[in-house]
Amino acid sequence: MTSTHTTLEPAGLVDDLDRSVRELVRREGVDPQRDAGVVRRIAESVVKAHDDRSLTGVVAPVADVGALVGELVARVSGFGPLQPFLDDPAVEEIWINDPSRVFVARNGRHELTNLVLTRAQVTELVERMLKSSGRRLDVSAPFVDAMLPEGHRLHVVLEGISRGFSAVNIRKFVLRARQLGDLVELGSLSPRAASFLEASVRAGLNILVAGGTQTGKTTLLNCLAASIPGGERVVSAEEVFELRFPHPDWVPMQTRQSGLEGTGEIRLRDLVKEALRMRPSRLVVGEVRSEECLDLLLALNSGLPGMCTLHANSAREALVKMCTLPLLAGENISARFVVPTVAASVDLVVHLGIDAQGTRRVNEIVAVPGRVENDVIEVEPIFVRQGHELRRTHGMPPRLELFERVGVDVHALLQDGR
């Protein structure tokens, strides 16, 4: 069980100073979400003024100035009692099952905190978070996905859909790896596998990143996208902005909820279609979940290199799911069309997992040579994890001519990793 850091000051004192800070913030026209530094300066001045008055004996002295300033900033500019968890780099995720049961995840494991909130506090926190994102939550839209100012992802399920209390989940944006070499240092990937994946991205292979929840799919997709040559134009589509990679010519797009009148919704499928009109050299889709898979397949099959993520328990199951999701696009879409299209469009599947110690690892990298036998797509394992080691197997990637075009000897690369 974990705890948050709170001040030792009387609740009434903190509330009084909180009101003083809010009044000055309003008077100066400060946006507390965007100008946290200004809010901190105001909080420091308010606490200092109170501390100076305490010398006369009129008010009680402050026990810990730094802690009190931090709490005032968290109340006004941050997200109150959750802010210490948001500031803690070891915390990966925060969720609230009910006001008395607040959990956090560290290193892939979750633990119950001793933080106890009130319904009013949670409601106020959710409203403040959604205000910064521009998205809404009501009876007509009881689910919401939103992005917080620091890049953290907020998901809320309204009470009535969840029993007893609204369910709140905050998945923090913790950037531990910016490129494939960083994943090697973290032990998620072997040097040879990293070199192969980097070469595959440069060559323009279509890569599917698969795994369970919190296995590091988006992190790996970011690292793969960081290997895209700078002279290419990248267009990405996501539910909410989570991809962050350095590239000079990149247009990121995200979905949009419908408005109060029920119009204006932008689905992921709309973004994939729109991306094709923007002269992309690469298409990156944050996560494929539904009928947008058909549009992505059609784009990849037309020769546009792309990458995406998908929830699946193995590389083979990921391919099965890629064959199933397009069927949701309409009754006229048949497996007879989809299965060979997936086999011809996907070149590599990278599957990730998380071990008992909470370490995220690449478990397998398989090639899709394009062959189908009895409606089953054939695969060739290139790397497979055995124990703590990601070992090279017999498989070879498809479309070797693409590697030759960018000057990569893939046989030598897979032999010694260079």
Mean pLDDT for back-to-back runs of 10 residues, the chain (418 residues): 50 82 88 77 90 84 82 77 86 92 87 90 82 74 82 87 88 84 93 96 97 91 96 95 93 86 85 94 94 94 94 96 93 90 96 87 96 93 92 94 95 78
* Per-residue pLDDT at 217: 94
Say how far apart CA 69 and CA 40 lie, in whole Å: 7
* Per-residue pLDDT at 4: 46
Kindly tell me the burial class for residue 157, based on how many C-beta atoms sit within 10 Å of its own C-beta (0-12, 13-18, 19 or more): middle
* Per-residue pLDDT at 132: 64
* Per-residue pLDDT at 33: 66
* Per-residue pLDDT at 9: 53
The dihedral over CA atoms of 100, 101, 105, 106, expressed in degrees to the nearest 10, equals 60
Helix H or strand E segment including 285: strand 282-285
Which of 135, 26, 8 lies closest to 64, judged by CA?
Answer: 8
Output Rg (C-alpha) for the chain, integer angstroms.
25
134: left (phi over 0), alpha (psi -120 to 50) or beta: left
* Per-residue pLDDT at 61: 83
| DSSP assignment of 327-390 | GGG-TT--HHHHHHHHHHH--EEEEEEE-TTS-EEEEEEEE--S-EETTEE--EEEEEEETTEE
* Per-residue pLDDT at 5: 44
Q: Determine phi and psi for 44, rounding to 5 degrees.
A: -65, -40
Say how far apart CA 211 and CA 317 lie, in whole Å: 10
* Per-residue pLDDT at 160: 83
In angstroms, how far is CA 285 from the centroid of its own chain? 12
Q: Determine phi and psi for 205, rounding to 5 degrees.
A: -75, 150
* Per-residue pLDDT at 172: 86
* Per-residue pLDDT at 6: 47
pTM for the whole structure: 0.77
